[in-house]
Chain A
Amino acid sequence: MLSLAWRNVVRNARRSLITVSAVALGLASLIFLWGFNDGVHNTMMRNLQQVIVGSIQVHANGFFHHPQLVKTVPDSGLVIRLLKANGIRGFSYRLRTFALAAGEESSEGLVLLGMNPDMEKKATRIAAKVDHGRFIQDNDEAACVLGKTTARNLGVSIGDDVVFLTEDIYGALAAEKLTLVGIISSGEMGIDRGLAIIPLGFLQQMTAMGGRHSEIVVQLPPERLEPVTAVLKAKLGKSYEVLRWYDMYPMMKQWVELENAFYYIFLTIVLVIVAAGIMNTALMSMLERMHEFGVMMALGCGRLRLAAMVVTESLLLGLAGIMAGTVAGLALVYYFHGVGIDLSSQMDSVARFYLNPVIHTEIDNSHLLDTVMAVLAASVAASVWPAIRAARLEPVEAIHHA
């Protein structure tokens, strides 16, 4: 039957070619758009995780929503042992508190984040976001890094002193004067405004929190996110909270899901067009061959077999279009993955959304598979009506059809 169906497809080569081209064009467009979409989303999610948030953060239970200096990770050593046992090397400790920062001209409340510069480089790319001066280098130096907006509000520049006023573990006031060594310009409001990074050792000493940590940040490839989270949750118990990046920043994931939903609507529209093209071809082909179908029925071909042949013909048209469209679509994704799509003219909004100025297309396997399967399903769905019409033919009437 496959051979006969294929010959019927090539019987009217021009019409089949037009149909296959339409399917291929639609699919290639969808694959390319998914490539752009996934490129944007994956870059956003990667940047969010890699710049400062990490893939997973481990805290004392309840810390994320009600952060307090004294609410520290119960046993950092246990967490680190678990991470190492799972082959994870990209992690860092942090201590987090609130402080009042005072510069030459004014003061501002902000989050004071103590980081170990050597460990931080293994876990995040925050150091690379410093565009004036340098990142903190020594775990105990009296140096700080501010976001661009905070530095401007405080009226300080590289080399100036910034005074930080906070509480120590006993609730007593602790104040220190640190030298501004670097200014971060990330484009992201939560980093550029309201954040000061100082060495972890220095902050622990300042707050009498020696050896204690508010958060352990873990950097992971996407495929390890869920399994590692499950292991940590299972082993650490209820006194800890293990949060994935999207538990902490659900808006990002919801935004990605919302955009994907819009793409699925677009996909549906394209599928309807593809299905209409295939149905048109299948129906015309069926109407042209009514006489032949009548003869086949007279020879003993059953109605189901006849319907199956019509479906097979549509399936072959769809498969040919899918092969051509997949090759063309992936070639486009591959090409723009290499050269990128320059969005630098939109730089302000690009940076705010954790995007890079040049978007490199990439496509998730699940989106590629969904799209291909949807086009395949549309090809089959498009043949249902012509197949039903073929199966309903009465041999005598069909044979006498001109």
Chain B
Amino acid sequence: MSDVLISASGLTRYYESGELKVMALDGVDLLIERGAYVVLAGRSGSGKTTLLNMLGGLDRPDSGSLVIAGQNLLTMSSAERARFRLYHLGFVFQAYNLIRVLSARENVAYVLQLQGVKKKQRFQLADQWLARVGLQGFENRRPDQMSGGQQQRVAVARALATEPDLVLADEPTANLDSHTGESLMDLMRKLNEERHTTFVIASHDPAVIASARTLITMQDGQVISVKAL
């Protein structure tokens, strides 16, 4: 029996630009099962990032419904959404977005600190996650002392350190060379297989699209196809 993690229905989001109304999401319906490895594909402006922001509780739709891990995100307060993100979601951003003043270990441990995990334990967990993403020995490096690929691996470790239900990645390979990008995708795919963590990745990178188990294609704010690969 399938276990639905994300259930979205009729998600609509528009932005007003002067007199113009730009439809960023136009009635998106979505069902994603727990443990899925989904790639959202589409051209720039197709609504991938907007949808990802909705799934991450970072933005609210103008209409529709959205339930993740059994919880209705649209009825939550700002504080409840922050707490939901902390315990259920992990993020990987295009520009890595590590905290500049913290080391790799501290960046990974930061989310655990927000959860209230004690210092010794969170540093141990952070070191374990850094080892899993191939960054053993890089624990004390600051972001500016690491390459883009290494920083993105730290971001993946940070996203997974809290063992979330869902990892959302927005163009995770856009700033990486093709070899590093492929290596990162291998890592994410491996983690999905090993830990059954659900990944939703927005990208128009062919290598990322090729790694998808489920490919959702978007155009003009609408889902135009869903393919199991």
Contacts and interface: CB of A to CB of B under 8 A. Distances in A.
Contacts of A300: 82-83, 85-87, 89, 111, 114-115
A11 B101 CA distance: 7
A304 B100 CA distance: 21
Contacts of A304: 79
A299 B53 contact: no
**Most chain B C-beta atoms within 10 Å of own C-beta, residue among A296, A299, A396:** A299
Contact of B78 (A4, A7, A303, A399): A303
Interface string A287-314: 0000110011111111111000000000
A110 to B, nearest CB: 78
A29 interface: no
B224 interface: no
Nearest to B96: A295
Given A292-B99, A303-B78, A395 B58 contact: yes
A388 to B, nearest CB: 14
B58 A399 contact: yes
Contacts of B82: 297, 300-303
A16 B99 CA distance: 19
Contacts of B89: 300
Interface string B70-97: 0000000011001101110101010001
B102 interface: yes
B86 A11 contact: no
B101 A299 contact: no
A299 B78 contact: no
Interface string A6-22: 01100100000000000
A302 B99 contact: no
A330 to B, nearest CB: 33
B123 interface: no
A395 B79 CA distance: 12
Interface of B: 53, 56, 58-59, 78-79, 82-83, 85-87, 89, 91, 93, 97, 99-102, 110-111, 114-115, 158
The 7 closest A-B pairs by CB, nearest first: A300-B86, A7-B101, A295-B97, A395-B58, A300-B85, A302-B82, A396-B58
Interface of A: 4, 7-8, 11, 291-292, 295-305, 395-396, 399
12 contacts: A292-B99, A292-B100, A295-B97, A295-B99, A298-B56, A298-B85, A298-B91, A300-B85, A300-B89, A396-B53, A399-B58, A399-B97
